[in-house]
């Protein structure tokens, strides 16, 4: 991390109460900057600071908000406007996963996935554009390798993230002349509570245990995200072999990619 690039910056993080968002908050809190976290629950770090159990160089604020609700986003932005008049970096990190076969997925599960993964970050970004334009800021969305191609047993999840990709790419082209940057970040499997808090085909809490295979820590992912913000050429960022494989094979040989996904994830949809 180049700490000099972050000093004095105003940073907005969504979903900073757990997982990757919490790791971002922890890392950036060690730099003298202003951080505004938007999430349903207050991060443990902020609670410790408010109780004077910890002290950090960063000035950190928490705004409680359900980011799937336009009404709550509007309220959060009104509160944010009293804390900052410009934003340098927006980490659109909050998200939800959805696991089920397409033919066993109710439309409600699609709506829930899109409310959190698509409409939430899109609407928040739209509302924060005046702040971002003022500072010629960077917008990063936390997506997934599953957003690069339709993954079996993830139709609602994959489609909500793929739609988000399209919006960010359009916005990148349109607003580049105003100095804004849009980065799509696709981490691999990460040790978070994403599966436990995800939804099934009926839109109910999934409650799955964490992926047991090889995975990254939230701290590793957060570090790569920060480095990607620092790189002016970042656009679509992946972290490991699976991400690079999906990124390139979707264009080179989608039929081969589908065979690999069918074999690798067979048990997920049977």
Residue pLDDT, tens place only, 90-118: 999 988 888 899 999 999 999 999 999 99
pLDDT classification of 1: cutoffs 50, 70, 90: confident
Spatial CA neighbour of 144 closest among 99, 108, 101: 99
Res 211 pLDDT > 60: no
- Element at 35 (helix H, strand E): strand 34-39
**Paired tokens of 3:** 């700490």
Answer yes or no: is pLDDT of 221 > 60. yes
* Contact present, 14 and 91 (Cβ < 8 Å): yes
Residue 127 banded pLDDT, cuts 50, 70, 90? very high
Residue 28 clears pLDDT 90, i.e. is over it: yes
Over the chain, what is the mean pLDDT? 92
Catalytic residue chosen out of the listed positions 149, 157, 189, 262: 157
The pLDDT score that the predictor gives to residue 209 is: 59
Give the pLDDT score at 73. Answer: 97
Provide the pLDDT confidence category of residue 268 given band limits of 50, 70 and 90.
confident
User: How many CB atoms neighbour CB 55 within 10 A?
Assistant: 8
Per-residue pLDDT at 210: 58
Residues 88, 92, 97: CA angle, nearest 5 degrees: 170
pLDDT for the residue numbered 27: 96
Beta strand spans in 88-230 (E):
89-92, 138-142, 181-186
Q: Is 157 a catalytic residue?
A: yes
pLDDT of residue 258: 95
Between 1 and 106, the more confident residue is 106
What does the block give as tokens for 47?
Answer: 């609670």
Nearest-angstrom CA–CA distance, 155 and 157: 6
pLDDT band at 189 (very low <50, low <70, confident <90, very high): confident
CATH code of 3-244, in short, is: 3.40.50.720
Cβ atoms of residues 247 and 221 within 8 Å? no
Contact present, 221 and 20 (Cβ < 8 Å): yes
Whole-number pLDDT of residue 188:
86
- Cα 94 from Cα 251, distance rounded (Å): 28
- Is the pLDDT reported for residue 212 higher than 60? no
Which range has the worst mean pLDDT, 213-217, 239-243, 254-258? 213-217
Q: Can you tell me the mean pLDDT for 141-165?
A: 94
Order of all β-strands in the sheet with 34-39: 59-64, 34-39, 10-14, 89-92, 138-142, 181-186, 236-238
- What's the predicted TM-score (pTM) here? 0.92
Distance of CA 6 to the CA centre of its chain: 20
Percent of the chain with pLDDT strictly greater than 70: 96
Return the pLDDT at 193: 66
Q: What is the average per-residue pLDDT within 132-139?
A: 98
């Amino acid at each position: 991390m180049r700490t000099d690039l972050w000093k004095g910056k105003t940073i907005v993080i969504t979903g900073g109460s757990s997982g990757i968002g919490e790791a971002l908050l922890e890392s950036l809190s060690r730099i003298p900057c202003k951080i505004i976290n938007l999430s349903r629950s207050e991060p443990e770090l902020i609670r410790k600071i408010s109780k004077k159990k910890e002290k950090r160089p960063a000035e950190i604020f928490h705004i409680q908000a359900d980011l799937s609700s336009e009404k709550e986003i509007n309220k959060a932005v009104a509160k944010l406007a009293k804390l900052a008049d410009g934003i340098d970096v927006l980490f659109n990190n909050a998200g939800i996963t959805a696991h089920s076969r397409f033919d066993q997925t109710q439309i409600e599960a699609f709506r829930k996935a899109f409310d959190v993964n698509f409409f939430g970050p899109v609407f928040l970004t739209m509302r924060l554009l005046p702040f971002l334009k003022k500072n010629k800021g960077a917008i990063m969305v936390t997506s997934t390798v599953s957003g690069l191609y339709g993954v079996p047993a993830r139709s609602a999840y994959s489609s909500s993230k793929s739609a988000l990709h399209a919006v960010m790419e359009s916005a990148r082209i349109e607003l580049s002349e105003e100095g804004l940057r849009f980065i799509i970040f696709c981490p691999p499997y990460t040790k978070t509570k994403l599966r436990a808090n995800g939804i099934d085909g009926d839109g109910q809490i999934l409650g799955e245990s964490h992926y047991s295979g090889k995975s990254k820590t939230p701290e590793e992912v957060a570090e790569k995200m920060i480095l990607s913000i620092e790189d002016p050429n970042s656009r679509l960022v992946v972290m490991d072999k699976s991400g690079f494989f999906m990124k390139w094979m979707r264009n080179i040989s989608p039929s081969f990619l589908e065979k690999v996904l069918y074999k690798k994830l067979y048990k997920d949809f049977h």
